[in-house]
């Protein structure tokens, strides 16, 4: 009798376990779109435009495009003119167990500055980056308990940035990677002036447990750019660019080939068609190989995430990260080595197949 029970249990386990794995594989890629500001916080009012309105339009339009894609789940921090605290935004993303957090904003400056920039959380000292973070962080003054809520952080003091706890550190490489896709998309598809990917102390990115970026889509204070950002055409183009970049980032993670957004206005010439047709290389860091099948959870790999497992012959190979440039991958090797994976090295993939690394790929 006992034997039968055991046999039954094993059969049950064998049945349940693959199902669980399968469910995990089918988990949608969840992206949180965070429209900056809202409600009593209008954001910047360059040329009398409302940053909060433009940011919301872009977030909603980006989400509408992404919802048409397979395997993508969209979560918004707000879908109306509503005030949410910075920590409240991070909480929404954490609760959704999102794979990517994208905060959408518009910049302002007293010069004629223009162009789009994408940011990740970091402590690099730079007065221009500090100015932008200061502006976006200032919203905490609208919160009653801001001193307690943000551990005494003072948005107006550059030194105060140091007190930011870098929970985001584990996700820095992936955040930079996602930011690069967005920035490339702006520059290549929309021919926007490139203000590049930068690091600064953005509070909204501090408490999220996932790769997180903040996009400054352009300057409302610049008359030409402000009008563009406030227009339907501008918002459509920017949204398409962001959605396109997010899909590229997603496919770099799961090793699939992304050939362009599913769009309802298909006959129209896509602004991104030229760029999306050529598949590029993906770099991953091989950290281990084993006959054992190990779950790709970060706690099984000294906190490294994401981990990809690929079976070749009787061996399972385990890879950390997924990067579009060899250089970023190289810096991730250092991180893997620091975590104890001394033999970590870069491998290149094209269309999910391993390929050898050429000198051209290294210099790209
Ligand atoms: Zn803003």
**For residue 43, how far is its CA from the centre of ligand 1 (angstroms)?**
5
What's the number of domains the chain is made of? Answer: 2
Question: Are 149 and 254 found together in one domain?
Answer: yes
**For residue 215, how far is its CA from the centre of ligand 1 (angstroms)?**
9
Higher-confidence residue of 341 and 170: namely: 341
Residue 196: per-residue pLDDT: 77
Q: What CATH number does residue 310 fall under?
A: 3.30.70.1070
Residue 37 within any structural domain of the chain: yes
Chain segment 75-105, per-residue pLDDT in tens: 999 999 999 999 999 999 999 999 999 999 9
124 pLDDT band (50/70/90 cuts)?
low
**For residue 314, how far is its CA from the centre of ligand 1 (angstroms)?**
51
User: For the whole model, what pTM was predicted?
Assistant: 0.70
Q: Which one of 274, 292, 322 terminates a domain?
A: 274
Q: Which one of 274, 296, 324 terminates a domain?
A: 274
Q: Which one of 239, 274, 309 terminates a domain?
A: 274
**For residue 136, how far is its CA from the centre of ligand 1 (angstroms)?**
5
Residue 13 within any structural domain of the chain: no
CA distance 99 to 101: 7
Query: Is pLDDT of 125 > 80?
Result: no
Residue 100: per-residue pLDDT: 97
| CA 287 to chain CA mean position, Å | 23
**For residue 106, how far is its CA from the centre of ligand 1 (angstroms)?**
6
* Ion ligand 1, residue ranges at CB < 5 A: 36, 43, 105, 136
Q: Which domain holds residue 292?
A: 280-363
Residue 14 within any structural domain of the chain: no
Question: Are 328 and 354 found together in one domain?
Answer: yes
Question: Are 57 and 133 found together in one domain?
Answer: yes
Residue 115 within any structural domain of the chain: yes
**For residue 52, how far is its CA from the centre of ligand 1 (angstroms)?**
7
Q: Which percentage of the chain shows pLDDT scores above 70?
A: 85
**For residue 151, how far is its CA from the centre of ligand 1 (angstroms)?**
21
Question: Are 300 and 167 found together in one domain?
Answer: no
Question: Are 211 and 343 found together in one domain?
Answer: no
Residue 25: per-residue pLDDT: 55
**For residue 42, how far is its CA from the centre of ligand 1 (angstroms)?**
9
Chain segment 315-349, per-residue pLDDT in tens: 788 899 888 888 888 888 998 988 888 888 999 88
**For residue 139, how far is its CA from the centre of ligand 1 (angstroms)?**
9
Chain segment 294-307, per-residue pLDDT in tens: 888 888 888 888 88
**For residue 34, how far is its CA from the centre of ligand 1 (angstroms)?**
11
Chain segment 244-284, per-residue pLDDT in tens: 999 999 998 887 778 888 864 444 444 443 333 345 788 89
**For residue 104, how far is its CA from the centre of ligand 1 (angstroms)?**
7
Question: Are 214 and 269 found together in one domain?
Answer: yes
Question: Are 185 and 229 found together in one domain?
Answer: yes
Q: What CATH number does residue 245 fall under?
A: 3.40.630.40
**For residue 321, how far is its CA from the centre of ligand 1 (angstroms)?**
30
Residue 18 within any structural domain of the chain: no
Question: Are 216 and 302 found together in one domain?
Answer: no
Residue 4: per-residue pLDDT: 53
| Secondary structure of the chain as H, E, C letters | CHHHHHHHHHHHHHHHHHHHHHHHHCCCEEEEEEECCECCECCCCHHHCCHHHHHHHHHHHHHHHHHCCCCEEEEECCCCCCCCCHHHHHHHHHHCCCCEEEEEEEECCCCCCCCEEEEEECCCCCHHHHHHHHHHHHHHHHCCCHHHHCCCCCCCCHHHHHHCCCHHHHHHHHHHHHHHHHHHHHHHHHCCCEEEEEEECCHHHCCCCCCEEEEEEEECCCHHHHHHHHCHHHHHHHHHHHHHHHHHHHHHHHCCCCCCCCCCCCCCCCCCHHHHCCCCCEEEEEEEEECCCCCCCHHHHCCCCCEEEEEECCEEEEEEEEECCHHHHHHHHHHHHHCCCCCCEEEEEECCEEECCCHHHHHC
Question: Are 163 and 245 found together in one domain?
Answer: yes
**For residue 72, how far is its CA from the centre of ligand 1 (angstroms)?**
26
Question: Are 296 and 359 found together in one domain?
Answer: yes
CA distance 350 to 353: 5
**For residue 132, how far is its CA from the centre of ligand 1 (angstroms)?**
8
Chain segment 32-64, per-residue pLDDT in tens: 999 999 999 999 999 999 999 999 999 999 999
**For residue 140, how far is its CA from the centre of ligand 1 (angstroms)?**
12
Question: Are 257 and 232 found together in one domain?
Answer: yes
**For residue 29, how far is its CA from the centre of ligand 1 (angstroms)?**
26
**For residue 194, how far is its CA from the centre of ligand 1 (angstroms)?**
18
Question: Are 199 and 306 found together in one domain?
Answer: no
């Amino acid at each position: 009798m006992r034997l039968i029970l055991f046999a039954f249990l094993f059969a049950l386990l064998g049945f349940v376990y693959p199902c669980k794995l399968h469910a995990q594989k089918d988990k949608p890629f969840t992206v949180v779109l965070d429209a900056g500001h809202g409600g009593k916080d209008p954001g910047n009012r360059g040329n009398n435009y409302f940053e909060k309105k433009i940011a919301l339009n872009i977030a909603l339009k980006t989400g509408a495009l992404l919802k048409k894609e397979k395997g993508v789940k969209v979560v918004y921090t707000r879908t109306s003119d509503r005030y949410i605290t910075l920590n409240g935004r991070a909480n929404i993303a954490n609760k959704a167990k999102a794979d990517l957090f994208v905060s959408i904003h518009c910049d302002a400056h007293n010069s004629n500055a223009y162009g789009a920039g994408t940011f990740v959380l970091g402590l690099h000292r730079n007065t221009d980056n500090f100015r932008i973070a200061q502006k976006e962080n200032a919203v905490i003054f609208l919160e009653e308990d801001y001193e307690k809520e943000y551990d005494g952080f003072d948005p107006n003091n550059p030194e105060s940035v140091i007190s930011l706890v870098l929970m985001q550190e584990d996700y820095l490489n992936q955040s930079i990677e996602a930011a690069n896709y967005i920035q490339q998309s702006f520059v290549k598809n929309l021919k926007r002036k490139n203000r590049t990917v930068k690091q600064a102390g953005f509070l909204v990115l501090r408490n999220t447990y996932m790769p997180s970026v903040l996009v400054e889509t352009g300057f409302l204070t610049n008359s030409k750019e402000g009008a563009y950002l406030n227009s339907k055409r501008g918002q459509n183009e920017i949204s398409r660019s962001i959605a396109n970049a997010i899909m590229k980032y997603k496919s770099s993670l799961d090793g699939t080939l992304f050939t362009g957004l599913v769009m309802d206005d298909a006959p129209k010439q896509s602004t991104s068609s030229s760029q999306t047709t050529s598949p590029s290389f993906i770099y991953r860091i091989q950290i281990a190989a084993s006959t054992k099948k190990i779950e790709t959870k970060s706690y099984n790999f000294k906190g490294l995430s994401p981990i990809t497992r690929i079976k070749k012959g009787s061996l399972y190979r385990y890879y950390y990260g997924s990067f579009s440039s060899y250089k970023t991958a190289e810096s991730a090797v250092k991180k893997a080595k620091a975590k104890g994976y001394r033999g970590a090295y870069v491998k290149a993939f094209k269309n999910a197949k391993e390929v050898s690394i050429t000198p051209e790929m290294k210099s790209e």
